[in-house]
Amino acid sequence: MLRWLIGGAREPQGLAEKSPLQTVGEEQTQNPYTELLVLKAHHDIVRFLVRLDAYRFASAGDDGIVVVWNAQTGEKLLELHGHTKKITAITTLPSIEACEEKNQLFLTASADRTVIVWDCNSGRQLQQVSCFQSTVKCLTVLQRLDVWLSGGNDLCVWNRNLDLLCKTSHLSDTGISALIEIPKNCVVAAVGRELIIFRLVAPVEGSLEWEIIEVKRLLEHRDNILSLVNIDDLSFVTGSHVGELIIWDSLDWTMQACERNFWDPSPQLDTQPEIKLCQKPNDTAIHHFTWDEENVFAAVGRGLYVYNLQTKRVIACQKTAHDSSILHVAKLPNRQLVSCSEDGSVRIWELREKQQLAAEPVPTGFFNMWGFGRVNKQACQPVKKQPENAISCALELIGDLIGHSSSVEMFLYFEDHGLVTCSADHLIILWKNGERESGLRSLKLFQKLEENGDLYRPV
Amino acid sequence: MISAPDVVAFTREAEYEEEPYSEPALPEEYSVPLFPFASQGANPWSKLSGAKFSRDFILISEFSEQVGPQPLLTIPNDTKVFGTFDLNYFSLRIMSVDYQASFVGHPPGSAYPKLNFVEDSKVVLGDSKEGAFAYVHHLTLYDLEARGFVRPFCMAYISADQHKIMQQFQELSAEFSKASECLKTGNRKAFAGELEKKLKDLDYTRTVLHTETEIQKKANDKGFYSSQAIEKANELASVEKSIIEHQDLLKQIRSYPHRKLKEADLCSGELEHTQGQACPAATTSTLEESVDTDLYSCRPAYTPKLIKAKSTKCFDKKLKTLEELCDTEYFTQTLTQLSHIEHMFRGDLCYLLTSQIDRALLKQQQITNFLFEDFVEVDDRVVEKPEPSLPKPSQDRLLSRSLEDCPIPQVFISVGSSYKSSVESVLIKMEQELGDEYKEAEVTALSSFDPQDNLDYLDMELKGSISSGESIEVLGTEKSAPLLTKSDSQGSLTVPLSPQVVRSKAVSHRTISEDSIEVLSTCPSEALIPDDFKASYPSAINEEEAYADDSEGAIHFQAGVSPQKLDKAKEGSLENLLPQADASCCIGKESHLLQVPLPAAAPSLCDEDSVVSIPPQRYQQKELGFHVDFTAEIVSSSPQDSGSEGLTAYELDPSHLLASRDASKTSLDNYSDTTSYVGSVASTSSDRTACSAPPTSSSDRHRKRAGQNALKFIRQYPFAHPAIYSLLSGRTLVVLGEEEAIVRKLVSALSIFVPNHSRSGKPVKHWVSCPLHITDFQKWKLIGLQRVASPAGTGTLHALSRYSRYTSILDLDNKTLRCPLYRGALVSRLADHRTQIKRGSTYYLHVRSMLTQLCAKAFLYTFCHHLHLPACDQEPEGLLAGRQGSFLRLSLGLVNEDLKVVQYLAELLKLHYTQEIPATGQPTLRFDYVPSFLYKI
């Protein structure tokens, strides 16, 4: 048909043949990103993006370089060299209100077992700690206590001046994979398949020393915990390698809800090959979470699941949202859900109320008008194991961003400037709303005309 | 019925009144008349054969105080060029007209010899015997040993075409002034050195004499001076005097630059330019002079000689050569400048004028011209100086000129009703005319030949006598030109001349008696409008003034979108409304109502709006002069002309005339158009070298070939339109093929449609064999990609299909194209497969004119404030988009996908305009989510 093959080349969607991957076609009317800018500065995989302020972000990766960018123009502002090995964690260090110096700082940890504090205005390397026994894998700032924690094989607490306040004993050889703050001066660390809750004791009149005390170990997960995210002040969520999603109470550290069904081999005759694929543990690994007031969005293997916090049920899913594992998901303020994956693509989804009466979902058919899209029966297919029709929503693909040639590691959303993606192909791509950019350029043009005194205003 | 030309002209006039919109859309300056005698097989260049030399050359002569006028050298230094032309005789002729008062010596009332820094004189003269016409540039150089310290020289540009000399007078004068300035600077330097040496000699002599006198004094104690001693004392005194004289001379020659510079400040910018460029070795004259002063003082040690009391007679010694008179460095620079001049004015007058107008117009489009113009080449043309040290000042000149000539456009903020209405009415008209215009363009490009010949023939017909060849005409101010260019050109072969034209021709052909020498004054404005001419013309002035003004108006609006149409339409409506309205009033109104962005309207033009009686400016004179040349012929230039059939035999590109040796080769190229594409594929081995050359070195020839191949592409592939649309809208087109030569050829052909991002060059990659990446699409808009059969090739294809939304893919091997749908009207005019255009260069020009029009639209769209920014603070969002759409559709007459082309160009314009430093980084990759289709043959 009209589907185009270059001289009988290998069918590009070869993978898609095996599992019905939803495609959106070439006409994406709701996809606002019609302009892109490729940013090139790294020489290796770019793994981290961190937002510094309204218009700046920093990128870091395996080449040990940190680059500060302007999100509006794509201009490279600073290139920071200091680490000799790959960077393993990056976080901003918010300035305290009392502190008069306005310098925006951020921390980077590297496999060379150092942590560096940078000033992102001047690019200066303010301080460096290199007394670590192991690679620091996560960094968390407790703004309330004005301390920051580094998690490696042990957990260390530091103050702003980089004095080691206290540390735990050796926890495990694999080290802490994730670390979040929860109320009551506690932190949760994911170590292997365990969740360990520590309490931080600030110096009171009696003692001048900081103390970190292990409070509790939670052992509900059957496999390594890959993701650990705060939902709100009251609960946090964890996801494991075998697709367990557990929601915990932040105050009493009890399990609020658990969903282990992502890998449930409920037999579906028509999608037999897919089931086989899904049973591979990697396909059910929960890599990342995002959340909004009502739902938790989980990236489970190649699929996306929406778990409603009220009903404690999966209300929508997309079993093969990508060709391979989804690495990062985020809910944007404009109700869109964005996911990026190892297959090098970024997809934009929208959670829509499903019309119960509609027998057949229409949208993909519309995009398929020219024969390029692929009708996907799966698109809004309810999960069949819940015949009571609990799934009332559908994740609809409204656009995809293709630009990276390798796995997209992470992305960052700027409300005013668009989306920034970083990838294993060493590139960072700035995706922008073409229409808005065009308007901005016009504004700039007329501003310049006015500056030059060439703007003619009739009286 | 149409036998009487004046009757026809009158009818035309009436038609014009009724139907003011039916004119050809082609700018008047580009209309080139057809050659009326083409059918008889007459060669329009036959006139050249009358002269004794084969082509124009430059002659440098000297009025030697020993042997009289003598030729020194010619450029090019090739005896074949001037052939049997008598250089000695002609030197005599040209040296005899130097009337400048280059008086050096003891002026009355002055104790010391005074150096006169005389201006060069510029003279035009003709010689019937030799069939030669010359622009003669007289200059004097200083020589300490010469009589009165001066040596008169002259440089002459000799051509067989008097009109060339006349019409290029300004340009010749400017260029020769540069050469002269270079010579004189070198000469001043050499002269100062000479003086210093002389001073040292004198000083030494004085010391020697002084010691001798002292010795004599001592030896002679008798108390009285011997005659010898007296003689010595006299000698000493004369040496002292001589020293003072020479010191004074040295002071004078050194003071030159400062005096001169002060003058330059007071004078117009023109003079400043010549001053600035006078010494190509240095960037600015001030720098140069300050360096010079340093150089004067620190010369290498010189051993002084004793000077005999009696100076040698001038006939005894050999006079210095020109090279000795100036510094060798400066002399070679001058020679380079002169050969540059020879290069610049090579070829037919028609060609020169067209390219000059072309360049001038291009310069006016300061904002948009980066989009499609080949800038490397444009610069080359302007600079065109082989010596690497030279381009710098000319670039400076370019820069400064563009700065002063091209102020940033005035932008009209409110889309006022008057403005809107005028734009709309105009554009409706434009729609109607586009078809015609395209044919016009074709014909115009085809019929490029010497217009003057034609004019002469017409003259012969009308007056029954040939004006004598050496007469010098003043062609700058003929007013009736726009009248006829305005009248409809759909005419018969008989040349309808209005009585006005006949009259003015008679007036303007001032015949000068045999061997008379016409001397034009050095003042350019006077030169072109002699008083007697004005005086003899009063009857015509009243009725023709309006047209003259109108033509000024036309120039005025050159920069906007189809400005002439605007102008004419406006004028037409105004004429209807106010038939008795004064022309000046008309123009004043236009300027207030229209306010078309005027990127190039110099301040002087603005003045003209209010004051009509300002004497014509230089540039305009040139324009007007050009109009005059074409007065009669334009009428007969219609595509239906049977005369144009016979013309094909002579449709030599004027540029080929430059080098006649190329002609045979190029014409062969041209006529190979008709061979099929497959045929040319087989012969690609010969094309390979030219095609693989980088696009920046594109010459006329390169363009021609590109045009030719583009034509082939359009004829061969029915899906050429969507492919070209892809290029114009900024969607990368990948040309996929196995054979490098074919791919390269097509890529260079299609590159004429690719808009530039900046002046740094076309975003075109001719040949790639590795898989494409996203950055490639950001960087390149046209890519030639190798299809590899091996497994390695699958990666390439995989990448292609992955990034398919950013690309259109033209598969040369399978003859398929995958790209978005195109339903606009623009490309079909740009690339009509049934076009009558046969030649590559013609098609190239056609494309350029269409693209220029497109750029103008994009310009208007970009710089209309309310189309992009809200008119008031609380404006609903949708309104802006609606305004944009309706402007593009209704005012600019665009349909469907054409909008995207203009929008893309507008984005490029915005980026280019707002960029502080040009060419920093790549623009963002813009794309649309639109479905693609597969086209097959």
pLDDT tens digits along B351-380: 888 888 888 887 877 777 777 776 544 444
Higher pLDDT, A2 or B229: B229
Q: With bands split at pLDDT 50, 70 and 90, how would you rate the model's confidence at B591?
A: very low
* Closest residue on chain B to A436 (Cα): B868
Reference A57, options A102, A104, A3, A110; nearest CA is: A104
pLDDT for residue B43: 53
Question: Is residue B806 scored above 80 in pLDDT?
Answer: yes
Residue A60 predicted with pLDDT over 90: yes
Mean local confidence (pLDDT), B84-89: 81
Higher pLDDT pick, B874 / B642: B874
pLDDT of residue B517: 40
How far is CA A133 from each of CA A84, A121, A167, rounded to the nearest angstrom? 16, 31, 12
Q: Which pLDDT score, from 0 to 100, does residue B920 have? A: 54
Rounded Cα gap, residues A114 and A449, in angstroms: 50
Tally C-beta pairs within 8 A across A and B. 143
The residues, ordered by sequence, that sit 6+ positions from B12 with a Cβ below 8 Å of its Cβ are B487, B488, B496
B910 closest CB neighbour out of A4, A26, A441: A441
Specify the pairing of strand B150-159 against strand A427-433: unpaired
Tell me what the mean pLDDT of segment B863-876 comes to.
79
Mean pLDDT in residue range A293-320: 84
Vertex B220 angle, CA B217 and B223, to 5°: 90
**DSSP 8-state secondary structure symbol assigned to residue A71:** T
- Out of A272-276, A436-440, A448-452, B912-916, which region has the weakest mean confidence (pLDDT)? A272-276
Check residue B809 and give its pLDDT.
92
Contact A416, B886 (CB under 8 A): no
Is A77 in the B-facing interface, judged by CB distances under 8 Å?
A: no
B102 or A199, greater pLDDT: A199
Residue B149 confidence (pLDDT) above 90 = no
Q: Please tell me the distance in Å from B777's CA to the nearest CA on chain A.
A: 10
Candidates A1, A4, A29, A417: best to mutate against B (most CBs of B within 10 A) is A4
Query: Two tokens at A302?
Result: 């190649």
pLDDT of residue B35: 52
Considering the domain boundaries, does residue A153 fall inside one? yes
Q: Are B107 and B493 in contact (CB under 8 A)?
A: no
Please tell me the distance from the alpha carbon of residue B479 to that of residue B471, in angstroms, as a whole number: 21
> What are A63-92's pLDDT values in tens digits?
999 999 998 888 889 899 989 989 999 998
Q: Which of A100-104, A191-195, B53-57, B535-539 has the lowest mean pLDDT?
A: B535-539
Q: How many domains does chain B have?
A: 2
For residue A14, the model assigns a pLDDT of 38
Number of domains in chain A: 1
A353 touches chain B (CB under 8 A): no
Q: Which residues of A touch B411 (CB under 8 A)?
A: 446, 449, 454-456
Tell me the C-alpha distance between B899 and B733, whole Å: 19
Identify whether the C-beta of residue B159 lies closer than 8 Å to the C-beta of residue B133. yes
Q: Is the dihedral of CA B841, B844, B848, B850 positive or negative?
A: positive
Residue A12, chain B, CB below 8 Å: the answer is yes
pLDDT at residue A26 above 70? Answer: yes
pLDDT-derived band at B301, boundaries 50, 70, 90: low
- CA distance linking residue B60 with residue B74, whole number of Å: 6
Query: Would you place residue B220 in the very low, low, confident or very high pLDDT band (cuts 50, 70, 90)?
Result: low
Residue B73 DSSP SS3: strand
Q: Give the three-state DSSP class for B722.
A: helix
Supply the pLDDT for residue B531: 40
B408: which chain A residues are within 8 Å (Cβ-Cβ)?
A: 449, 452, 454
A133 in Cβ contact with A171 (< 8 Å): no
8 A C-beta contact, residue B695 and residue B802: no
Rounded distance between C-alpha atoms, residue B445 and residue B176, angstroms: 31
What is the spatial distance between Cα B902 and Cα B926, in angstroms, rounded to a whole number? Answer: 14
Taking CA–CA distances from A31, the nearest residue in chain B reads B929
Top residue of B910, B912, B935, B936 to mutate, by most chain A CBs within 10 Å, is B910
Q: Do A29 and B409 touch (CB under 8 A)?
A: no
Task: Return the exposure string of A189-226: e unless at least 16 CB atoms fall within 10 Å of the residue's CB, then b.
Answer: bbbbbbbbbbebebeeeeeeebebeeeeebeebeebbb
* Adjacency order of strands within the sheet including A33-40: A408-414, A418-423, A427-433, A33-40, B925-926
- Shortest CA distance from A74: residue in chain B: B924
- Structure tokens of B267? 């004078």
Range of A450-454, B57-61, B450-454, B483-487 with top mean pLDDT: B57-61
The 3-class secondary structure across B140-166, one letter per residue, is EEECCCCHHHEEEEEEEEEECCHHHHH
Q: Which residue has the higher pLDDT, B216 or B152?
A: B152
* Enclosing domain of residue B746: 699-849
B667 pLDDT above the threshold of 90: no
Q: Does A14 touch chain B (CB under 8 A)?
A: no
CATH code at position A214: 2.130.10.10
Cβ contact A456–B911 (<8 Å): no
Q: How far apart are the first and last CA of chain B?
A: 52
Contact A429 B934 (CB under 8 A): no
To the nearest 10 degrees (0 to 180), the angle between helices B349-364 and B618-630 is: 130
What is the residue type of A77? L
Q: Which residues pair with A337 in a beta bridge?
A: A331, A349
| Predicted local confidence at residue B102, as pLDDT | 46
Among A170, A174, A175, residue whose Cα is nearest residue A139: A175
Cis peptide before B386, with omega less than 30 degrees from 0? no
Does position B442 have pLDDT exceeding 90, yes or no? no
Q: Answer whether A455 sits within 8 Å of B416, measured CB to CB.
A: no
Q: Check if A123 contacts B (Cβ < 8 Å).
A: no
Asked if the structure places residue A97 within a domain, the reply is yes
Helices B227-266 and B269-278 pack at an angle, to 10 degrees, of: 130
Distance CA B711, CA B153 (A): 52
Q: What is the pLDDT of residue B838?
A: 85
Q: Which of B797, B805, B868 sits opposite A26 (nearest CB)?
A: B805
Cβ-based neighbour number of residue B431 at 10 Å: 10
B204 domain residue, yes or no: yes
Burial class (CB in 10 A: 0-12, 13-18, 19+), B810: buried
B654 Cα distance to chain centroid: 15
Q: Tens digit of pLDDT for each residue in B496-546? A: 434 443 343 333 333 333 343 444 433 333 333 334 433 333 333 333 333
Q: Are the beta carbons of B929 and A34 separated by less than 8 Å?
A: yes
- Interchain contact A6–B (C-beta under 8 A): yes
Residues paired with residue B70 on neighbouring β-strands, in sequence order? B62
CB A247 within 8 A of CB A257: yes
Quote the CA–CA distance of B305 and B313 in Å, as a whole number.
18
Q: What is the pLDDT of residues B397-407, one digit of tens each?
A: 433 333 334 33
Range of the domain at A177: 31-325+405-452
In a domain, A339, yes or no: no
Q: Which residues of B touch A444 (CB under 8 A)?
A: 910, 914
- What letter does residue B105 receive in the DSSP assignment? B
Q: How far is A83 from chain B, CA to nearest CA, in Å?
A: 28
Does residue A18 form part of some domain? no
Residue A338 falls within a domain, yes or no? Answer: no
| pLDDT confidence of residue B50 | 57
User: Which of A11, A31, A397, A445 to mutate: most B Cβ within 10 Å?
Assistant: A445
Which pLDDT tens digit goes with each residue over B23-38? 455 666 666 555 555 4
Question: Please, are residues A185 and A200 in contact by the beta-carbon 8 Å criterion?
Answer: yes
> Which of A12, A27, A446 lies at the smallest CB-CB distance from B869?
A446
Average confidence score pLDDT of chain B? 63
Do the domain assignments include residue B872?
Answer: no
The residue in chain B having the minimum alpha-carbon distance to the alpha carbon of residue A402 is B803
Q: List A residues 412-451 in contact with B (Cβ-Cβ < 8 A).
A: 427, 429-430, 432, 434, 437-439, 441-446, 448-449
Tens digit of each residue's pLDDT (9 = 90 or more) over A213-244: 888 888 888 888 888 888 888 888 888 888 88
Nearest to B411 among A369, A437, A454 (CB): A454
